[in-house]
Amino acid sequence: MYIIHNGKIIAEEKILDNHAIVVAGEVIQEIIPQWRISDYPNAKLIDAKGGYISPGFIDIHSDYIEGIVSPRPTSMMDINISLREAEKILISHGITTMFHSLSFYREDVFTHKPMRYPKNVQRLVDAIDATHNELHLIRHRLHARFEIDNIDEVDRLIENIENDKVHLLSFMDHTPGQGQYRDLEVYRDTLKGYRDLTDSDVQTIIAERQSSTFMTIEKIKDVAEIALAKGIAVASHDDDNISKLDLVKSFGTTISEFPITLEVAKKAKEMGLQTIAGAPNVLLGGSHSGNLSAAEAIKHDCVDILCSDYYPAALLHAIFELNEKYGNDLHRMFMMVTLNPAKAVRMDDEIGSIKRGKKADLLIIERMDDGYPMLTTTMVNGAVITTTNYRIK
């Protein structure tokens, strides 16, 4: 049994002072007033040293694993080693549940990395699934990001859903001229960042992408229904107009990832969709694609969830930057990386908040004199996974 004390607890409704958390086995047994610590003489005390005691972060959209497996366009590291090494990094950033967002693209310019070849994507899907029955540090889940022109892989996607290997499903359309790439200049710059291409090469790729064959709306609905029947949440991606929101809502979507404009984000919220923005967007001061500013959307209360997208460290830093630089309520910012994502993926009965009976996924976050957030203790399922001791000498 552990008691975590002398900290500010990020509880479901507010930040609690002068309280402590009792952890028994894998779960939170109760939250008690500080003076009741003496009721548990045999418990091991963990001193939060005045820091914040937060639920573990739940990251439901991140392709970070791709860069670990394939750190160079011509390199493909061992998948199992990569997954083990990635989780050591992720836990160091407070991420206790990771939805690895694997891209199911057809082979084209975006599959320049061997990690995006269909056979390698499936190998990683299987490796993530295997962690459920092996020693591991964090909770691994799969977010299947399916590009709607990848019609040859639809049956494989359905098979993975039916075999319980998918835990979140999103449909993507990266066709140039709409969505994330409505600005063709941004698309051109992105392509050139992936490969050494001439303007003529880029124009050819744009023409090919725009003339691709896509899944029909009926087929998308069929796949979504299979996922929903398994209790899997379905998300849309890069919603850029109101009519698209109406469409995606019609096939059971409950999450809108990265709405492109403030108008669309507001409408998505109005329609009851849970909205996601990237934490790196906060740190960068805006979207790297020239789209919606996460900080601006949060100011207008039309973002529910922050994800790390491609930079795991961003979650922790974005919480405090949004509070201190932009004046947002700190408790609300913590909810964007804990309880809100847990609700979105239907795991809030088990994780996402500090509450009696829930899994003891807990973080202690202290602050340096200059405000830098130090993650000094992480706990998953009631087990202390890491302790970090910052020092001067």
pLDDT of residue 73: 77
- Mean pLDDT of the region 353-361: 98
DSSP conformational letter for 200: H
List phi, psi (to 5°) of 178.
-155, 175
pLDDT at 184: 43
Pair 307, 60: CB distance under 8 Å: yes
Answer yes or no: is pLDDT of 193 > 70. Answer: no
Is residue 186 scored above 80 in pLDDT? no
**C-alpha triplet 219, 205, 189: angle, nearest 5°:** 110
Tell me the angle at which helices 118-130 and 79-92 cross, rounded to the nearest 10 degrees.
60
**Is pLDDT of 188 > 90?**
no
Could you tell me which residue, 245 or 195, shows the higher pLDDT?
245
Cα separations in angstroms, 346 against 83, 228, 339, 341 = 24, 11, 10, 8
CATH placement of domain 57-175+212-344: 3.20.20.140
What residue spans in the chain does CATH classification 3.20.20.140 cover? Answer: 57-175+212-344
Cα first-last separation, the chain: 33
Mean pLDDT over 225-241 rounds to 94
- DSSP assignment, residue 78? -
The confidence band for 200, taking pLDDT boundaries of 50, 70 and 90, is: low
The region of weakest confidence among 108-112, 121-125, 270-274, 331-335 is 108-112
- 3-state DSSP assignment of residue 23: strand
The answer to whether 196 touches 226, Cβ cutoff 8 Å, is: no
Identify the pLDDT of residue 179: 43
The answer to whether the beta carbons of residues 20 and 3 sit under 8 Å apart is yes
Q: What pTM was estimated for this model as a whole?
A: 0.90
How far CA 167 is from CA of 75, 84, 236, 335, 376, in Å, comes to 28, 20, 15, 21, 30
Confidence band (pLDDT; 50, 70, 90) for 329? very high
- Find the mean pLDDT for residues 195-219: 64
Distances (CA, A) of 220 to 31, 155, 214: 45, 12, 10
Give 300's contacts (C-beta < 8 A, 6+ positions apart).
262, 265, 266
The amino acid present at 249, given as its one-letter code, is: K
Supply the pLDDT for residue 96.
98
Residues of the chain with CATH 2.30.40.10: 2-54+353-387
3-state secondary structure of 15: strand
Q: What does R_g of the chain's alpha carbons equal in angstroms?
A: 21
pLDDT beyond 50 at 370: yes
pLDDT of residue 177: 41
Query: What are the tens digits of pLDDT across the range 54-108?
Result: 999 999 999 999 999 998 878 899 999 999 999 999 999 999 999 999 988 766 5
Q: Is the pLDDT of residue 235 over 50?
A: yes
CATH 3.40.50.10140 fits 2-54+353-387, yes or no: no
Average pLDDT, the chain: 90
Which pLDDT score is estimated for 129? 98
